[in-house]
Amino acid sequence: MTGLPDIGPAPPDDAARDRAERDDLLAAWETPSGFRRLSAVNNSLIGRWYLGTAFGFFLFAGVLALMIRTQLAVPDNSFLSMELYNQVFTLHGTAMMFLFAIPIFEAVAILILPEMLGARDLPFPRLSAFGFWCFVIGGTFVCGSIFFGAAPNGGWFMYAPLSSDTDQTGIGTDIWLLGLSFIEVASIAAAIELIVGVLKCRPPGMRINLMPLYCWYVLVVAGMILFAFPPLIAGDLLLEMERAFDWAFFDADRGGDPLLWQHLFWIFGHPEVYIIFLPSIALIATMLPALARTRIVGHSWIVLSAIGVAFLSFGLWVHHMFTTGLPNISLGFFSAASEAVAIPTGIQIFCLLATVLVGRATASVPLLFAGGALAIFVFGGLTGVMVAVVPFDFQAHDSHFVVAHLHYTLIGGMLFPIFAAVYYWHPFVTGRMLSPRLGRWAFWLIFAGFNITFLPMHWTGVLGMPRRVWTYAEEMGWGALNMTSTIGAYILATGVAIMVFDVVRPRRFKAPAGVDPWKAPTLEWLREGPGHPWGIRSVPVITTRYPLWQQPGLFEEVTRGKWFLADASGGHREMIVTDILDARPMFVQRVPGPGWVTILSAAFLGAVFILATWHLWTAAVLCGGGFLATVLWWLWTGTGGVPPTPERDCGRGLILPLYASGNGSVGWWAMFITMIGDTTAFAGLVFAYAFFWTVHPAFPPPGSEPPGLPTAALAALSLSVAWLLMTVAQGANRAGRGSLSRWALAIVPLAAAAGVASLVLAAGAVGLDPTRHAYDATVWVLILWIGVHVAVGVIMDLYCLARLMAGRMDASHDAELRNSVLYWNFLLVQALVTIAVIGLFPLVSGGIR
Amino acid sequence: MRSPGTRTWCGPRLLRLAPLPVLCGCEGRHSWLAGAGAEARAIESLFWPFLIGSAIVWTAVMAFAVFAYRSAASDKGERVGRAVILWGGAVVPTIVVAMLLLTGLLTLRALSARSPALTVQVDGEQWWWRVAYRVPGQAEVVTANEIRLPRGETAELLLTSDDVIHSLWAPALGGKMDMVPGRTNRLTLTPLTIGSWGGLCAEYCGAAHAQMRFEVVVTEPEAFRDWLADEAMPAAPEALSEGGGLDAFLDAGCGACHTIRGTEADGPVGPDLTHVGGRGRIGAGLVPLTAANLSRWISHTDDVKPGVRMPAYPDLAPEALDRLVAFLMALK
Amino acid sequence: MTYPRIIDDGSVWIVIMPPVIWAGHFLAAYWIAAVWCARGMGVLAPAAWAILALTLIALAAIGWIARIATVRYEGLLRHEASIADDRERSRERFLGHVALLLCALNAVAVIFTAAPSLVFGQC
């Protein structure tokens, strides 16, 4: 039935074996103590740190919110100065979005996803740790700036040309651009890891139709991150190039266009709203079966909605730009998508309601928060379809009506579900329950405070109060409503304070939770709790959607070590990797344990970004070298290599290989997914070119000559040769012709260098100057992009060469080489597209005109 | 279309009961619901149905949620549940949002269908508004922070900016439109109610964004044309000749930034002051134009409006300041 | 052990295609209109016709996928608990069901996208 080979009988109960296996597991998975604890990489610990840090930033941004509300409580207030207010509101939005709303998704997923999949960890534990440390460093950098009066002050949307004017928006904007780019890198790293986790690390037998809804959402949302963040990274690159080196992208006098930034920002910015919202709905969809004592009604409908929202949300971005003067018909398209996205959103909500209808829900704090989420989010959704109506938005846009709307969607759609999840999964993490009484107090204070704050704010907007104003005159008549909002904000803050108190008070005051306090159906409740860092005791075969309900005896079988990988002989951290569709076991992946290399590399990378903020280029380059060295060390010591034995007996007759390369391996998928994201960023740059072509009557403009075709063709040829050599090296290695493979790899850098040199020559020979015109700048940024990618490709090439020489790769163990070839496949496509855009397109577009 | 008039338009007829005008702030000079323009009324005609419709939908969903929570489980449950998803989650919302979409598109088409009788160029500056009227056969009229429009006539505002993005918004008259460097955007306004309506910058445009306001003064068409003819004249001769005010102005260096047509002051940086005494407010709509306010504005500019580009003149001798203020007030 | 291949064995492509068709149609419509209007063509009719033609093609493609999905799901509206079973067939039916629902959603979304081309005659 499961598509698995015959499964042997379960081993008999044997207390001595159980103890021995547990000792082995502990030896392999034990968290280091003392200061070495910081070097831990285990998902349960990293997840907790991640969660705590994200909540820390939430509280910080919440204090900023209170400062905003205090300043606006009365007209002509002088609590905050104009300069400080502008920094405070910018940082409030930035921190809530980038340092709380998105990381909290990653934190929760890192914490519960592996356990929900019956996996011991995520496939790349060190990558999670690396992402976490990037997040800590970047977030502290961005938030800390306000204590030096140097916080960004251009709004969290950073519209050019205000943000490209270094006189008006000082170092804060660079901190924003570089600090957040750094954090986005971490987010993308987490997204890659989560996608691979869902696709490849499910328990044997858990086919795609049996996968919990939470995993669907994680897959969808991580996929969205992969397509939404890169355009912003591309935008950040352009804006920082303009700020640091005066490249002309957004300066209208030099052929740039401020609207390009808005496009790139909102192609990120609107999907981002759903990146925040979907995981929270996912949390509710995961809790609800336990709370309502029934299966989810409309499982496939929820999957449909998640996928549908994920796509449609990429067609909404211009609804943040309804008043920028685009043609009516263009506005119409985006209005259409903005209305359409309400359909799958509504379906999700009704699936959850139908589940409550079918089930027997009893009152509990998580359910209370879920109900609050419903009340608030539905309201926010309704104002959402209003502002999606273009003429209505002409009034509502950038007024306090929109401030109210967005807080209804985000707090209802994200914060309340997260709070519900805190009450629900607190016993999962700590083994203790939070107080229901304090929970009810917290809920009602937060709920009442929220509505007192934001319901009147709709009216404040109707009365004409714009957003992002540090003060207003008494004669405007907005005083009473603002005072009400401010009072509400403090009530809300009181509720949050009660919740925080409940969470942080010592555990001895909290009631013990037992193993499965909610009688939940999902696998994470198979974990054995604090003190058992290995997660699941043994990895079972899953044949149902609600295993703890529908597979009787599972708990005992798993915790008594009667399933796969019950032991950890040899002290390795191991997990089973399965196939994407049917979760048939493919091989056993050994994952690395604690290490300082993750913190070190995060610190070096952080230093690169921080030093670049102050234009300390030499130091930045040195740290970049340090980053490269640590990453190579990390890869060399922690990944790949020929295993000592080819196979591993997982118990019950399941014998799996210990090595995989190519598209079965997790590394290949990680590379594939990374390159999808990377290519999206590249597409953002090509979009910039196409956008300029659309808005300019002539592009290339008069005075700029496009790069010469022969030189560009030479570049295409050289890079193709480099790619071909990589492919040849892979084939030769497979065929056992090691020396041919090594020679091919050794020549790659020459061909690659020739390719980049020809590209630079092509643009340089015709005198393109990036500070002169947007055309020149766009061509140069494309060449820069390809140049950097070729450099990375050459490093990979040399790494593979070194691995071959060192005997860490051979004919049948070639994962690194195959991953590098995959990288080069994408690189070749990007290079050829670049050459077509800068070399061929001007000929064609010139012809049409 | 409702007939233009001076009465205050407020809310749907049904709801126009006693407490509502206070609640909805119809009397507000910045309210969307003030109904002072045809465009604002068109949008308002969306607002009330949306509000009532949302209230109904929200109540229905909440009532259903409470019912679902209270109801006991049953065997038929799952079939009912699927019907709920299909009809409540998919079919009904699809119809509702389709209607919303069409209503929005048709309203948008109607909004852009008016052909303008008058063109006004408004240039957003940090943090004030340069307003220029170019009427064929007449000298160009340049003023600042006050847009005069004739009642009942559609005006097209050409919106530009040279520094950063601003957004012109007079909620009582209609929606907003951004001013994007390098582009010229168009906004049509058809004022219907005589009066002075508030406007402001809706797009965050840097430090003093909060205090970038303006006035829209709606007058009868004849009065508007008289005003325009007066504005086209150079500065009032009696102001120029009286009490050495012009000398004080020039001595303080004001002419480097400000223009007063008919004098040697031709600075292009700040607002044109040729007829500043005829405007209702100073500091980009910030405070009413009175001698005291003007005096404080000149001597303590940054206190009145933090971040303002105009330097303060705290060291100006009191009598020179008085002469200057009297001079500016006389520039009707 | 053999593993099913994602594309042909898994029918995953019929899940992905409907939204991809919507996305392609949406971007094409946006691009056509943007370029048309940026080149100062005031009258929209030719662009609108092009968009409507694309709409028909997109709807036909979605319909074709819906047909495949119906076969996989073995029905249109009927409900079968067996899509949650531990069988290869159940997995296929599940993906067929999701694909079918996505076809419906994206058909609506494509029609929505076409609406502005019918309403506006001018840029």
CB pairs under 8 A between A and C: 141
Summarised one tens digit per residue, pLDDT across range A466-490 is: 999 999 999 999 999 999 999 999 9
Give CA–CA dist C111/A453, Å, rounded: 39
Contact B305, B286 (CB under 8 A): yes
Structural domain of B59: 13-111
Kindly report the nearest CA distance between residue A343 and chain C, in angstroms.
8
Give strand pairing partners of A591.
Answer: A573
How many other C-beta atoms are found inside a 10 Å radius of the C-beta of residue B55? 12
Token code pair at residue A610: 């921080």
Token code pair at residue A373: 């989420």
Return the DSSP state at B189: E
Torsion angles phi and psi, residue A706, rounded to 5 = -65, 155
CB pair distance less than 8 Å for A323 and B93: no
Give CA–CA dist A738/A803, Å, rounded: 12
Give CA–CA dist A291/A281, Å, rounded: 15
Q: How many residues does this entry show for chain B?
A: 332
C81: closest chain B residue by CA = B78
User: Which of B111, B130, B157 represents a domain boundary (last residue)?
Assistant: B111
**Of the partner residues A357, A390, A397, the one whose CB lies closest to the CB of residue B68:** A357
> Average pLDDT in the A361-370 region?
95
Integer Rg of chain B from CA: 26
B206 within a domain of the structure (yes/no): no
Question: In 3D, which of B10, B209, B191 has the Cα closest to residue B124?
Answer: B209
Helix, strand, coil content of chain C in percent (nearest 5): 75, 0, 25
Encode C94-103: b = buried (16+ Cβ within 10 Å), e = exposed. bbbbbbbbbb
Give CA–CA dist B31/B43, Å, rounded: 12
Give CA–CA dist A280/A101, Å, rounded: 10
Give CA–CA dist B301/B297, Å, rounded: 5
Paired sense of beta strands B146-150 and B213-219, if any: parallel
**Of the partner residues B89, B109, B307, the one whose CB lies closest to the CB of residue A349:** B89
Q: What is the model's pLDDT at position A423?
A: 97
Contact C119/B at CB under 8 A: yes
Q: What is the model's pLDDT at position B18?
A: 39
Give strand pairing partners of B218.
Answer: B149, B195
Summarised one tens digit per residue, pLDDT across range A793-825 is: 999 999 999 999 999 999 999 999 999 999 999
A391: closest chain B residue by CA = B108
Give the start-to-end residue ranges of the domains of chain A. 41-509, 689-848
B211 within a domain of the structure (yes/no): no
Contact A125, A591 (CB under 8 A): yes
User: Which of B85, B111, B137 represents a domain boundary (last residue)?
Assistant: B111
More confident residue, B28 or A573: A573
Confidence of residue B2 (pLDDT cuts 50, 70, 90): very low
Question: In 3D, which of B277, B267, B269 has the Cα closest to residue B245?
Answer: B277
Summarised one tens digit per residue, pLDDT across range B194-216 is: 999 999 999 999 999 999 999 99
Contact A344/C at CB under 8 A: yes
Q: What is the model's pLDDT at position A3?
A: 60
Confidence of residue B11 (pLDDT cuts 50, 70, 90): very low
Q: What is the model's pLDDT at position B269?
A: 96
User: Which of B65, B95, B111 represents a domain boundary (last residue)?
Assistant: B111
CA of A437: how far to CAs of A429, A443, A554, in Å? 20, 10, 34
Mean pLDDT, chain A, whole residue set: 94
Contact A674, A681 (CB under 8 A): no
Name the superfamily (CATH) of residues A41-509.
Cytochrome c oxidase-like, subunit I domain (1.20.210.10)
Confidence of residue C8 (pLDDT cuts 50, 70, 90): low
Contact C14, C65 (CB under 8 A): yes
Give CA–CA dist A121/A695, Å, rounded: 50
Q: Which of A300, A309, A546, A656 to mutate to test the interface with C (most CBs of C within 10 A)?
A: A300
CB pair distance less than 8 Å for B105 and C119: yes
* Chain B residues whose beta carbon lies within 8 Å of the beta carbon of residue C115: 101-102, 105
Summarised one tens digit per residue, pLDDT across range A104-150 is: 999 999 999 999 999 999 999 999 999 999 999 999 999 999 999 99
Confidence of residue A587 (pLDDT cuts 50, 70, 90): very high
CA torsion, ordered B174, B180, B184, B189, to nearest 10 deg = 10
Chain-centroid distance of CA A306 in Å reads 16
Q: What is the model's pLDDT at position A801?
A: 97
Which residues have a Cβ under 8 Å from the Cβ of A60 and sit 6 or more positions away? Answer: A95, A143
> Same topology for domains A41-509 and A689-848, yes or no?
no
Kindly report the nearest CA distance between residue C89 and chain B, in angstroms.
22
Chain-centroid distance of CA A269 in Å reads 13
Contact A391/C at CB under 8 A: no
**Of the partner residues A82, A83, A360, the one whose CB lies closest to the CB of residue B73:** A360
CB pair distance less than 8 Å for A347 and B89: yes
Question: In 3D, which of C36, C26, C17, C35 has the Cα closest to residue C100?
Answer: C17
Token code pair at residue A615: 């234009």
Contact A610, A235 (CB under 8 A): no
CB pair distance less than 8 Å for A297 and B78: yes
Biggest CA-to-CA distance, chain B: 96
Domain formed by A689-848, architecture: Up-down Bundle (1.20)
Which residues have a Cβ under 8 Å from the Cβ of A16 and sit 6 or more positions away? Answer: none
CB pair distance less than 8 Å for A391 and B175: yes
Query: How open is the CA angle A108-A113-A114, to the nearest 5 degrees?
Result: 130
CB pair distance less than 8 Å for C119 and B94: no
CB pairs under 8 A between B and C: 18
**Of the partner residues B103, B176, B200, the one whose CB lies closest to the CB of residue A397:** B176
Residue A538 in this model has a pLDDT that exceeds 90: yes
Count of structural domains within chain B: 2
Share of chain A above pLDDT 70, in %: 99
Q: What is the model's pLDDT at position A540?
A: 95
CB pair distance less than 8 Å for A694 and C33: no
Summarised one tens digit per residue, pLDDT across range B211-262 is: 999 999 999 999 999 999 999 999 998 888 878 899 999 999 999 999 999 9
Token code pair at residue B192: 């219907």
Give CA–CA dist B308/B125, Å, rounded: 11
Token code pair at residue A255: 């052929």
CA torsion, ordered A290, A292, A293, A298, to nearest 10 deg = -90
Kindly report the nearest CA distance between residue A49 and chain B, in angstroms.
36
CA of A480: how far to CAs of A75, A259, A494, B159, in Å? 9, 37, 22, 34
Confidence of residue B75 (pLDDT cuts 50, 70, 90): low
Q: What is the model's pLDDT at position B4?
A: 40
Contact A726, A704 (CB under 8 A): no
Q: What is the model's pLDDT at position B27?
A: 58
Q: What is the model's pLDDT at position A58?
A: 98
Q: What is the model's pLDDT at position A427?
A: 94
Torsion angles phi and psi, residue A130, rounded to 5 = -60, -50
Contact A215, A587 (CB under 8 A): no
Summarised one tens digit per residue, pLDDT across range A742-771 is: 999 999 999 999 999 999 999 999 999 999
- Reduced to 3 states (helix: H, G, I; strand: E, B; else coil), residue A544 is coil
> Average pLDDT in the A429-456 region?
97
Please state whether the peptide bond connecting residue A444 to the residue before it is cis, i.e. omega within 30 degrees of 0.
no
**Of the partner residues A329, A331, A337, the one whose CB lies closest to the CB of residue C26:** A337
* Chain C residues whose beta carbon lies within 8 Å of the beta carbon of residue A314: 23
* Chain C residues whose beta carbon lies within 8 Å of the beta carbon of residue B101: 112, 115
Count of structural domains within chain C: 1
Summarised one tens digit per residue, pLDDT across range A283-318 is: 999 999 999 999 999 999 999 999 999 999 999 999
For chain B, how many helices (H) and strands (E)? 10, 12
- Reduced to 3 states (helix: H, G, I; strand: E, B; else coil), residue C79 is coil
Contact C108/A at CB under 8 A: yes
C1 within a domain of the structure (yes/no): no
Token code pair at residue B269: 């940086």
Q: What is the model's pLDDT at position A388?
A: 95
Give CA–CA dist A537/A560, Å, rounded: 7
Contact A164, A239 (CB under 8 A): yes
Confidence of residue A600 (pLDDT cuts 50, 70, 90): very high
Summarised one tens digit per residue, pLDDT across range B83-114 is: 999 999 999 999 999 999 999 999 999 999 89
Q: Give a three-class secondary structure readout of A665-718.
A: CHHHHHHHHHHHHHHHHHHHHHHHHHHHHHHCCCCCCCCCCCCCHHHHHHHHHH
* Residues 297 through 356 of chain A touching chain B, CB cutoff 8 Å: 297-298, 301, 323-325, 328, 331-332, 335-336, 339-340, 342-343, 346-351, 353-356
Give CA–CA dist B4/B192, Å, rounded: 5
Residue B25 in this model has a pLDDT that exceeds 50: no
Question: In 3D, which of A31, A179, A17 has the Cα closest to residue A534?
Answer: A31
Q: How many residues does this entry show for chain A?
A: 849
Q: What is the model's pLDDT at position B21?
A: 43
B283 within a domain of the structure (yes/no): yes
Summarised one tens digit per residue, pLDDT across range A662-718 is: 888 999 999 999 999 999 999 999 999 999 999 998 889 988 899 999 999 999 999
Report how far apart the first and last C-alpha atoms of chain C are (Å, whole number): 60
Give CA–CA dist B144/A644, Å, rounded: 81
Residue carrying structure tokens 């590098």: A820
Question: In 3D, which of A784, A590, A606 has the Cα closest to residue A681?
Answer: A784
CATH code where residue B326 lies: 2.60.40.420
C59 within a domain of the structure (yes/no): yes
Residue carrying structure tokens 């119409």: A332
Q: Give a three-class secondary structure readout of A48-85.
A: HHHHHHHHHHHHHHHHHHHHHHHHHCCCCCCCCCHHHH
Token code pair at residue A44: 């349960």
Return the DSSP state at A465: P
* Chain B residues whose beta carbon lies within 8 Å of the beta carbon of residue A331: 108
Contact A697/B at CB under 8 A: no
Contact A167/B at CB under 8 A: no
Residue carrying structure tokens 């047909």: C67
Q: What is the model's pLDDT at position B16?
A: 43
Biggest CA-to-CA distance, chain C: 63
Confidence of residue A570 (pLDDT cuts 50, 70, 90): confident
Q: What is the model's pLDDT at position A5?
A: 66
